[in-house]
Amino acid sequence: MASRQSLRAFQAIRSLATASYRPRTWQALRFYSEAAANEAPASAPYLQHLKTDLKTAMRAKDAPRLAVLRAILSENLNASKTKTPIRTDPQLVIQIMKMKRSTEDTAAEAKKVGRDDLAEKELEQAKILEEYIVKSKLEVLGEEQLRPMIKEEIELSIAEGGQAKTLMADVIKRIKVATEDKVVENKILAPLVKELINERNKQN
């Protein structure tokens, strides 16, 4: 009885933990084929490397890698049909990073309910996702690298007549232009810009 309850609890947790992307990717990946990959509109250059790896994984019958690559390509294809298509390598890498975090979260929840077998599979997929983040050879900027850049752009924006109401948006725009060839996540950038603007206001 306890075992069945644990399993039901895990299934509920997994559903919540993976809602961010899996209903559109991991469940859809079974319908994703090599033909669909070739039909996808041109986007991030790095995507072509993933498509090549997909063919290699198919020939090698590498199921874990095949599942991961199909998920990435399916997510990219879905995004291409929205107002925010993935068109650059940094955007593609951010997508992969989000998938990796979601997979790791699912693995952690699986371990909590004693499903080490599922946790192991999720961690294997997370490892493959990390591999593709590294292979992109793009620099991922965190808070430590962004702080001095943001402080500088705040001062420049103010010096050029930036108004308080539009300062945050202007600084974010400036940072994105300056880091267009690097990986910068909005979930890190926006709160950090707000924090440093508030910090400056308190000092003046």
What is the value of pTM for the model shown? 0.74
Residues 48 and 74 in one domain: yes
Residues 164 and 110 in one domain: no
Residues 25 and 103 in one domain: yes
- Provide the b/e sequence for 144-163 (b: ≥16 CB within 10 Å): eebeebbbebbeebbeeebe
Residue the block writes with tokens 């699986």? 110
Q: What is the mean pLDDT of residues 139-153?
A: 96
- Residue 1 is predicted with a pLDDT of 52
- Residue 183 is predicted with a pLDDT of 96
154-198 pLDDT per residue, tens: 999 999 987 888 999 999 999 999 999 999 999 999 999 999 999
DSSP state of 141: P
102-125 pLDDT per residue, tens: 999 999 999 999 999 999 999 999
Which of 135, 166, 192 is where one domain is finished? Answer: 135
Residues 156 and 131 in one domain: no
CA–CA separation, 19 and 102 (whole Å): 9
Residues 93 and 13 in one domain: yes
Q: CA-based angle 178:179:185, to the nearest 5?
A: 135
Domain count, the chain: 2
Burial class (CB in 10 A: 0-12, 13-18, 19+), 73: buried
Residues 123 and 148 in one domain: no
Residues 109 and 199 in one domain: no
Burial class (CB in 10 A: 0-12, 13-18, 19+), 193: buried
> What is the span of the domain harbouring residue 114?
2-135
Which of 84, 119, 135 is where one domain is finished? Answer: 135
Task: Indicate whether 34 pLDDT > 50.
Answer: no
Residues 120 and 156 in one domain: no
Which of 135, 151, 174 is where one domain is finished? Answer: 135
46-95 pLDDT per residue, tens: 999 999 999 999 999 999 999 999 999 999 999 989 998 999 999 999 99
